[in-house]
């Protein structure tokens, strides 16, 4: 007999996540869905809306919410297409509203034709629960890459946008960027998460909070500056490592 018992807590094995590398800027779009309720959240549809909707269909789920980590061009150009195909609500932090409004113009500067980004249906902020049936993401406001950058967390799974990458961090030299603010967001919000948390970033490969605490040169340097390197932590060699910042924006 199938177990249809509804519980308040989603069972871990009900949750499925798939990623798709989209657009010329090679951005990771994530679809996280509940296989039992068949409802899903799409994070950062940066381009190729049709492919994203197709991937959700293959997963057997419907995208009910589009939750953006921030409003940079490479994360947002697929919002309109996913929304018109699914009717999903679009969520963003208010502090990135201006960037979202400028996305079309910004695309033009890259020689790309883009439709305007739809107005957000809801603003997220620190602590906002982003919920579909059987799945709830907790919003962490992590300014630094942009003022309105957020990460979404559930059950040892973190969608980190362009705040934290494997071995790197999002660039902070664009409008609204602030290096010290970004490091504070990472140390005071993200490093508080369980070490085993899997980090699914906006670019490049996945990692874990433990890996980044121990190996990410930016994080290790910041922890050292704060006198927070635990005894026994490897002594990283930040700076001068030839590490290249991701060239996204
Ligand atoms: Zn990006
Ligand atoms: Zn970005």
pLDDT of residue 229: 84
Q: What is the mean pLDDT of each run of 10 residues along the chain (249 residues)?
A: 51 89 97 98 98 98 98 97 98 98 94 94 98 98 98 97 98 96 98 98 98 97 91 49 42
What spatial distance separates the first Cα and last Cα of the chain, rounded to whole Å? 51
Query: What separation in Å is there between the alpha carbon of 207 and the centre of ligand 1?
Result: 16
Cα of 108 vs centre of ligand 1, distance in Å, is 17
Q: How far is the CA of 85 from the centre of ligand 2 (A)?
A: 25
For residue 65, count CB atoms less than 10 angstroms from its CB and return exposed for 0-12, middle for 13-18, buried for 19 or more.
buried
Q: Could you give the CA distance from residue 192 to residue 51 in angstroms, rounded to a whole number?
A: 35
Distance 197 CA to ligand 1 centre (A): 21
Place of tokens 């305007």: 116
Domains annotated on the chain, with CATH: 10-225 (3.60.15.10)
pTM, full prediction: 0.89
What is the predicted pLDDT for the residue at 13?
Answer: 84
CA 33 to chain centre: 15
């Amino acid at each position: 007999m199938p177990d249809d018992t509804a519980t308040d807590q989603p069972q871990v094995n009900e949750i499925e996540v798939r990623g798709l590398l989209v657009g010329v800027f090679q951005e990771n779009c994530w679809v996280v869905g509940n296989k039992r309720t068949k409802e899903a959240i799409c994070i950062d549809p940066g381009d190729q809306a049709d492919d994203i909707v197709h991937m959700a269909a293959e997963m057997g789920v419907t995208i009910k919410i589009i939750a953006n980590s921030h409003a940079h061009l490479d994360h947002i150009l697929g919002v309109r297409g996913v929304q018109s195909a699914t009717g999903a609500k679009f969520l963003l932090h208010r502090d990135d509203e201006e960037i979202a409004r400028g996305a079309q113009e910004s695309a033009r500067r890259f020689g790309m034709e883009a439709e305007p980004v739809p107005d957000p249906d809801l603003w997220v902020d620190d602590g906002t629960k982003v919920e579909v049936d059987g799945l709830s993401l907790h919003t962490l406001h992590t300014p630094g890459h942009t003022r309105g950058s957020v990460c979404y967390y559930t059950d040892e799974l973190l969608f980190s946008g362009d705040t934290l990458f494997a071995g790197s961090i999002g660039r902070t030299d664009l409008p609204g960027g602030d290096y010290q603010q970004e490091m504070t967001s990472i140390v005071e919000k993200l490093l508080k998460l369980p070490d085993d948390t899997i980090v699914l970033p906006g670019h490049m490969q996945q990692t874990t909070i433990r890996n980044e605490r121990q190996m990410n040169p930016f994080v290790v340097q910041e922890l050292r500056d704060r006198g927070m390197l635990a005894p026994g932590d490897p002594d990283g060699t930040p700076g001068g490592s030839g590490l290249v910042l991701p060239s996204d924006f």
